[in-house]
Structure 1
Amino acid sequence: MTRQLLADAAEHADRAAEAADGETAERLGGVADDLRAVADESRSGPDHGWMAKRINTVREAADGADAAVREHADAAVESISEYREGVAGV
């Protein structure tokens, strides 16, 4: 489990936001900010519920978006999911 995965997810969410517009861009940008903040924290990191909420937000925001948005959104979800595999709990 490495926080670099969260930083990578933030980067992909940013790219998806840049490729999107309107509310979709805002939602994806918000997730990117959340991920970046958690990746930079010194505490233990996010729990499963926190990550699940961000994954759902990314998926919902990218639903129906163009291919560029979906590609980066999928990459963000993949990075979050990979990080999540190493988190104890659920």
Structure 2
Amino acid sequence: MTRTLLVEAAEHAERAADAADGEAADRFDRVADDLRAVADESRSGPDHGWMAKRINTIREAASDANDDVRGHAEAAVESISEYREDVPGV
């Protein structure tokens, strides 16, 4: 499993934040910060529950957004989901 996918997800979340306004932009920024933090850590990485919460936050923040925001949000979800495929457990 590669942490590059988490960095990619963070970059997409940042792009979504740049394209969004208000609370949605703040939520995307927080998720991007979370993803970068775990990508930089030396421990084993996030578990399924942690990633599921971030995916849910991304989807909720994008629910009423424009196409540009939704595109970046979906790309972030895809990167997280690809990373999750190699995480043991659930």
Q: Same fold (TM over 0.5)?
A: yes
Report TM bin, short chain. over 0.9
- 2:27 matched residue in structure 1: 27
Take 1:68 and 1:13, find their aligned partners in 2: how far apart are those partners?
12
Q: Per-residue deviation at 1:40?
A: 0.4
Q: Per-residue deviation at 1:31?
A: 0.1
RMSD: 0.3
Take 2:69 and 2:36, find their aligned partners in 1: how far apart are those partners?
19
| Runs of at least 5 residues in structure 1 that lack an aligned partner in the other structure | none
* Structure 2 SS opposite 1:88: coil
Using the size of structure 1 for normalisation, the TM-score is: 0.99
| Runs of at least 5 residues in structure 2 that lack an aligned partner in the other structure | none
Using the size of structure 2 for normalisation, the TM-score is: 0.99
* 1:43-82 correspondence runs (5 A): 43-82=43-82
- % same residue: 78
